[in-house]
Amino acid sequence: MTAFDRLKFLCEKQGISVNDLEEKIDIGKNSLYSWKKNIPKGTNLLKVADYFHVSTDYLLGRTDSPNGYADSPLQLTVEEALASVMSSDGKPLTDHDREVLTGIIEAYIEKNSDK
């Protein structure tokens, strides 16, 4: 699937044409049609990604996940993420702080996985 295919799919999903999108995000008429033959880059790529709330990696076909993260090999466990966190005074987290943050993160993940 090319970047233009993804762009067209996102437009159809929102019930707008590519030309409507260009107008909405202030891009020159027919500019996005160049995505049929060229790899998109720069400001136009960012504007489209921002408009549809998707990652540029999704538009470029580097991932099939619109947010760009679900199939990322860089997903961290909660413990791995906390290993790099420092307290507000620049010192390592206490065991108590680690427990509290783990609970908060796990509750957040659980809440968002229900959506």
Contact between 44 and 30 (Cβ < 8 Å): no
Cβ count within 10 A of residue 3 = 22
Domains of the chain with CATH codes:
3-60 (1.10.260.40), 78-113 (no CATH)
pLDDT digits (tens, 9 = 90+) for 10-33: 999 999 999 999 999 999 999 999
Residues 6+ apart with CB under 8 A from 6: 58, 59, 61
Q: Residue 59: name the closest of 31, 75, 40 by CA.
A: 40
| Tokens at 63, concatenated | 């991932």
pLDDT digits (tens, 9 = 90+) for 55-112: 888 898 888 777 765 544 445 677 767 776 776 677 777 888 888 888 888 888 777 7
